[in-house]
Amino acid sequence: MINLESLLLELSNAPGPSGFENPVREIMKRELSPFVDSLDTDGMGSLIGIKNGPSSSPNIMLSAHMDEVGLLVRYITDEGFIKFQNLGGWLDQAIIGQRWQILTSKRTVLGITGIKTPHVMSTDERGKVFKGENLFLDVGAQNKEDAENRLGIKPGDPIAPVSYATRLNDSEFILGKAWDDRAGLAVLVGVMESVKDSDLPFNICAVATVQEEIGLRGAHTSSYAVNPDIGLNLESGVAGDYPSISQYEAQEKLGNGPAIFLHDSSMLPNLKLRDFVIDTAKDSDINLQFNVLSGYGQDGAEMQKSFEGAPAINITVPTRYLHSHNSIINIKDVEKAIDLVGQCILQLNLEKIKNLKNFD
């Protein structure tokens, strides 16, 4: 049996900004290989593990993305400070005052995003939001040459948040970075383990995608590599269970089980597939939550739109404080998400797949 907690901690700690997912891919290769018949990467680096069904059977694609929001070195100032480009959707305010690791070809370089000390600010200036274009990383370099030669920093080097995952005060909560979407990757591994001994009448394609945070890029190519008949995307959801966020904005609560998205700005789920997941949750005694988001994008949209199109749905682990150094999930929700997706796979058969794809 996989040790879910240690897998979650390892996945969260691994650095993997969009386009630089290698450390995460290595973990996923190791974790998926016992449960699949083949394991390959596509031309962009997404990892595709297939548990074969009978020949020419349909493809059930499960996906979760390996990348996290990060930064990238834009240039080094003459004084040795690092100006950067955001990778993914950061609030500038979440970038400030944090520790980061620059992943150079030589070594890992620790840096911090400093801001002007409040002692010298006017009252007016104190109330203002700092603009991203004025932010920088301090790596303790003497000057540009020192940053380049001693630390090995080059333009284009990826930068990941530094934040070590831990249980939050002996609760069911786990604190860490990158639950978006390392939580989904843990669900993917757990599901593949749970169905490993089942003879299924279809192929299960377990895909760990790249570059989701900058526009679902890896899911685009991997969906074409797989050609899914049904797509189940495994993601971090959006919790709305803390002060300052409303139920209207996000409905998921930590500890209440997995959720499905009924709307986000990238996709509408297939309604028959929605009902299939609802019924499966009910039959399996798993509490299922719903979420309707005005924004958000996720890899399910690419599965849905590949080739002639496929029924798809996004299944999530509720998460607080996404796209920051410190997000929180509940480990029980991860367990329940594994149960739900595993049950969905065991309940599927050729007739149900045909029916899900039938619009008559």
Mind telling me the catalytic residues? 212
When asked if residue 181 is in the footprint of Co ion (CB under 5 A), the reply is yes
Q: Which is nearer to Co ion, 136 or 296 (CB)?
A: 296
Side-chain-side CA neighbours of 209 within 13 Å: the count stands at 33
* Site track 136-175 with Co ion (rule: CB under 5 A), x = hit: ----------------------------------------
Q: What is the closest distance, in whole angstroms, from the C-beta atom of residue 327 to Co ion in the complex?
A: 11
Which region among 103-111, 180-188, 220-228, 274-282 touches Co ion (by CB under 5 A)?
Answer: 180-188
In the bound state with Co ion, the residue whose beta carbon lies nearer, of 181 and 252, is: 181
Q: Among residues 147 and 322, whose Cβ is nearest to Co ion?
A: 322
DSSP letters spanning 256-307: S--EEEEEBTTB---HHHHHHHHHHHHHTT---EEEE-SS---THHHHHHST
Q: Is 302 near Co ion (CB under 5 A)?
A: no
Q: How far apart are CA 205 and CA 72, in angstroms?
A: 31
Q: How far apart are CA 355 and CA 347, in angstroms?
A: 13
Stretch that binds Co ion, among 13-21, 41-49, 176-184, 237-245 (CB under 5 A): 176-184
Structure tokens at 147: 């940053």
Tell me whether residue 255 or residue 297 sits nearer to Co ion (CB atom).
Answer: 297
- Of the pair 180, 335, the CB lying nearest Co ion is at 180
Measuring CA to CA, which residue among 219, 349, 185, 181 is closest to residue 276? 349
Smallest gap from Cβ 40 to Co ion, in A, equals 23
Return the bridge partners of 70, or none. 87
Shortest Å distance, C-beta 190 to Co ion = 18
Q: Minimum Å distance from CB 209 to Co ion? A: 10
Minimum distance between the CB of residue 178 and Co ion, rounded to whole angstroms?
Answer: 9
Is residue 21 at the binding interface for Co ion, with CB under 5 A as the rule? Answer: no
Candidates 146-154, 179-187, 264-272, 313-321; binding stretch for Co ion (CB under 5 A): 179-187
Minimum distance of Co ion from residue 13's CB (angstroms): 18
Residue 299 within binding range of Co ion, rule CB under 5 A? no
Contact flag: residue 180 with Co ion (CB under 5 A): yes
Count of positions on this chain that bind Co ion (CB under 5 A): 2
Euclidean distance between CA atoms 244 and 95, whole angstroms:
20
327 near 165, Cβ under 8 Å? no
Pick the piece of the chain touching Co ion (CB under 5 A) from 140-148, 177-185, 221-229, 275-283.
Answer: 177-185
The residue (of 180 and 252) whose beta carbon lies closer to Co ion is: 180
H-helix segments, the chain: 4-13, 22-32, 92-95, 123-126, 144-149, 179-194, 217-226, 271-283, 300-305, 331-347, 350-356
Distances (CA, A) of 50 to 68, 202, 310: 24, 10, 18
Q: Which of 18, 9, 6, 339 is nearest to 179 (CA)?
A: 9
| Contacts with Co ion, residue ranges (CB under 5 A) | 180-181
